[in-house]
Amino acid sequence: MTDVHPDDGQLLALALDEADGGSRDSTLQHLTSCHRCRGEYDALSATVEQTLAAAPSVEPSPGFDARVLGAMGLDPTGPVKVSERSRRVRPGRHRWQLVAASVAAGLAVGVGGSYAVSQLDDTPQQSTLAEDRSLLETPDGDRVGSVTRTLMDGEPVYVVTVTTGPVGMNYLCLLRLEDGKQIEVADWVLHSERGETWVIDVPAQDVSELVMVANGGAGPVWSTARL
């Protein structure tokens, strides 16, 4: 056993997976033979792990489960089978290097209650999600995002995800109601070319369409989603 015990900061860094190479190796070496430090580290590490469940649940994009099952070599729509694990394709870590465009989570500051993206219904049935999801399209028919109706804290919300659009543009978000009226629900700026996601409360009235109007509402209509 090394004579010098790691300090609190070193144990914390190791438990949080932020220790650098040299410190990490020496601390791990020490822990193999020092029961006192090992106990303290195990307690910190277990606490970190058990706190992870507090993370907000967020529904991934449609088809995510199928992609995962495909990566496992399983066909989610195919017949139930028990296959040989060794026959499956197993992508390596280099898969991550291939990631290109992506969408960043964002924050909405709107009227009538809007939230940062973070807490979505984790209903496991994909078909249910698909039924509640509408495409956000430009007048030219380009798909620029989606609007999903889901639940947050038991209350219905629309999750508005913009996957592409002019950065820096200010959008006024309107909800058109079945009775022909419309209400302004939020005023957003797209900060990243990778897109953003916002959450807005579903009003009591029946809604027919969500409209994003460019230039803070001065127009033109940038995109719409039939709800």
**Binding residues among 181-200 for another protein as defined by CB under 8 A:** 194, 197
**Do the bridges between strand 221-226 and strand 207-213 make them parallel or antiparallel, or are there none, so unpaired?**
antiparallel
Q: Site size for another protein, by CB under 8 A?
A: 75
Q: Is 13 in the site for another protein (CB under 8 A)?
A: yes
Residue 9 interacts with another protein (CB under 8 A)?
yes
- 101 vs 218 by CB, closer to another protein: 101
Q: Which amino acid is at 1?
A: M
Pairing of strands 182-189, 114-116: unpaired
How far does the chain reach from its first CA to its final CA, in angstroms? 65
Please pick, from the candidates 1, 8, 28, 226, the single residue that binds another protein as defined by CB under 8 A.
8
Query: Which of 3, 4, 36, 52 lies at the binding interface for another protein (CB under 8 A)?
Result: 52
From 22-30, 39-47, 202-210, 215-223, span contacting another protein (CB under 8 A): 39-47
Q: Which is nearer to another protein, 53 or 204 (CB)?
A: 53
36 touches another protein by CB under 8 A = no
Minimum CB separation from another protein for residue 61, in Å? Answer: 7
User: Which region among 24-32, 101-109, 170-178, 205-213 touches another protein (by CB under 8 A)?
Assistant: 101-109
Nearest CB to another protein, comparing residues 122 and 142: 122
If one asks whether residue 60 binds another protein (CB under 8 A), the answer comes out as yes
Q: Taking the CA of residue 15 as centre, how many other CA atoms within 13 Å lie in the half-sphere pointing to its CB?
A: 23
The only residue of 1, 28, 48, 111 in contact with another protein, by rule CB under 8 A: 48
Bond before 220 cis per omega within 30 degrees:
yes
Q: What is the C-alpha separation between 188 and 216, in angstroms, rounded?
A: 8
Residues sharing a CB contact under 8 Å with residue 21, sequence separation 6 or more, in sequence order:
none
* Residue 37 lies near another protein (rule: CB under 8 A): no
56, 112, 139, 219: which one binds another protein (CB under 8 A): 56
Q: Which two tokens stand for residue 145?
A: 């995002």
Radius of gyration (Cα) for the chain, nearest Å? Answer: 24
d(CA 178, CA 185): 16
Nearer to another protein, 146 or 211 (CB): 146
Q: Is 131 a residue that touches another protein (CB under 8 A)?
A: no
Read off the amino acid at residue 211: V
Strand 207-213 relative to strand 170-177, pairing: antiparallel
Other Cβ atoms within 10 Å of 201 Cβ, number: 19
